[in-house]
Amino acid sequence: MSSTNFAAAQQRVLERRRRRETEAQNRLAEQQRTSVANHPALQRLPYPLNTLPQSGFSIWNAIRGREGTRPAFRVGQVDAELLDEELLGLLKGQVGDALKYFGPHLRDDWSNEIQLVLRAILFKLSIWDHDASYGAALQSLKYIDSRSKGPVHSTPTKLQKSLYGLLTVGGRYAWDKWENWLIAQEGGYEEPSQEVRSLSRLTNIFSTSHSIAAFISFLVFLVNGRYRTLIDRLLRMRLTPPSAQASREVSFEYLNRQLVWHAFTEFLLFLLPLVGISRWRRWISRAWRKTISAIRSTSVDEDEDSEKQGELAFLPERTCAICYKANNDATTESEIMASASAGAGGIIGSAQTDITNPYETIPCGCIYCFVCIVQKLEGEEGEGWVCLRCGELVKKCKPWNGDVLEEETKRRSSSGKIVGFAVDDNAPSEQEQVPVGENPAGAETA
């Protein structure tokens, strides 16, 4: 390209640039002319009032404007703060679990001091050494000094980091101790003094003012994404990505793992009823019981009674073996005797283990509660249930056709008197009838 053509090209570039600048100025002037702040009705207001719309728009533009074109990462900054609080809570819980062996009151009495030490350690190992907390590092963010101008931001100065640690670590500890002292002074048996009430009112006013200022600062942060907290705004410290090539994509790998796990569990829930896992479980348990019974039968002597016995054959006849097994851990007679001698009571009382609405099994004829035996047989789905008393395989049951037999210990006479007879071991087998008028030695008259 010749020098003449190059100069002409330069002239065309400059002309286009001047034309774009002129168009931008004209557009800005048109926006200002049509703005609500420049309305003639507002311009006719007195002096202090006619400047308020313009000042409000200037403040809004200052809040809305951003420094450069780099992304603000609002969500990442908020998540970083939440992660830091979660980390502090985890460390506090572990330290509390370690200190509980030295006394139950130690963790509560020194809670503020424990938080002070943990915050100081985290601040030294994260922000002071690496210009980023652990939560910010997980979000790929670092603190910078927003006062620096230029394409490359400088790291916070030692003064900024020292003030940040003093306010976030020491300031929180001092404020917590101050509030605890006020609560202790106001919660006593005596009426708090006038000075304490005044300090309490000043503390409430300061706390409310700080909360309002923090809320307004957070609203401004949601607009421009510069300063996450009020302390960051005061110290001019910002959380930004360490490089312009930082990716804002969110990793959904954990969601993929969760979806895979849910799909696997749903597949198992669909497959298990088809396979019949309960039938296989019953078959395995029955085979295991047969193996155990075979091992026991081979270990006993030949002279012993070969009658088939269940695991709860030692229970009384009035006790439902199913109810007993559901309410007791002892499964052998020796264990029941040991628990009874230890004061545990042995068999649980009749209110819980006695047979209610008796039904007998077929073919062994053992007695159980109607609800208990029906649930067991229904759960086996027709394959039979092993009786707890005799070890027989039970598939059916029927109502018990027997009756409760009690020894006659009381007789009613014609005169209305009740005579009870004491049992004498040396007495003959046949009981003699005694007239009502006579009262032999061994009788008790009620």
* Tokens standing for residue 328: 């007791």
User: Cβ contacts of residue 221 below 8 Å, gap of 6+?
Assistant: 74, 77, 227, 228
Considering 159-168, 414-423, 433-442, the range whose residues carry the highest mean pLDDT is 159-168
pLDDT in tens, 129-141: 988 999 888 888 8
Tell me which of 166 and 31 has the higher pLDDT. 166
Considering 112-121, 275-284, 298-307, 346-355, the range whose residues carry the highest mean pLDDT is 112-121
In terms of C-beta density within 10 A (0-12 exposed, 13-18 middle, 19 or more buried), how is residue 202 classed? exposed
For the chain, give the number of residues: 446
User: Cβ contacts of residue 411 below 8 Å, gap of 6+?
Assistant: 418, 419, 420, 421
115 band by pLDDT with thresholds 50, 70 and 90: very high
3-state secondary structure the chain: CCHHHHHHHHHHHHHHHHHHHHHHHHHHHHHHHCCHHHCHHHHCCCHHHHCHHHHHHHHHHHHHCCCCCCCCCHHHHHHHHHHHHHHHHHHHHHHHHHHHHHCCCHHHHCHHHHHHHHHHHHHHHHHHHHCCCHHHHHCCCEEEECCCCCCCCCCCCHHHHHHHHHHHHHHHHHHHHHHHHHHHHHCCCCCCCHHHHHHHHHHHHHHHHHHHHHHHHHHHHHHHCCCCCHHHHHHCEEEECCCCCCCCCCCCHHHHHHHHHHHHHHHHHHHHHHHCHHHHHHHHHHHHHHHHHHHHHHHCCCCCCCCCCCCCCCCCCCECHHHHHHHCCCCCHHHHHHHHHCCCCCCCCHHHHECCCEEEEECCCCEEEHHHHHHHHHHCCCCCEECCCCCCEECEEEECCCCCCCCCCEEECCCCCEEEECCCCCCCCCCCCCCCCCCCCCEEEC
The answer to whether 357 and 373 have CB atoms below 8 angstroms apart is no
Tell me which of 316 and 430 has the higher pLDDT. 316
* pLDDT of 170: 92
Q: Could you name the CATH architecture of 309-399?
A: 2-Layer Sandwich (3.30)
Looking at every residue in the chain, the average pLDDT score rounds to 75
Q: Region 83-109: what's the mean pLDDT?
A: 85
CA pair distance 133, 139, nearest whole angstrom? 10
164 band by pLDDT with thresholds 50, 70 and 90: very high
The answer to whether 77 and 141 have CB atoms below 8 angstroms apart is yes
pLDDT in tens, 219-247: 888 888 888 899 999 998 988 888 766 66
CA pair distance 347, 328, nearest whole angstrom? 8
**420, pLDDT greater than 50:** no
**444, pLDDT greater than 70:** no
Tell me which of 300 and 394 has the higher pLDDT. 394
Q: Region 26-35: what's the mean pLDDT?
A: 73
**336, pLDDT greater than 70:** no
pLDDT in tens, 379-388: 777 777 888 8
In terms of C-beta density within 10 A (0-12 exposed, 13-18 middle, 19 or more buried), how is residue 144 classed? buried
Q: Per-domain residue ranges for the chain? A: 3-56, 73-240, 309-399
Q: Region 367-372: what's the mean pLDDT?
A: 89
Q: Region 169-175: what's the mean pLDDT?
A: 92
Sign of the CA dihedral 183, 184, 186, 187? positive
What's the pTM value of the predicted model, to 2 decimals? 0.47
**427, pLDDT greater than 50:** no
Tell how strand 393-394 and strand 396-399 pair up. Answer: unpaired
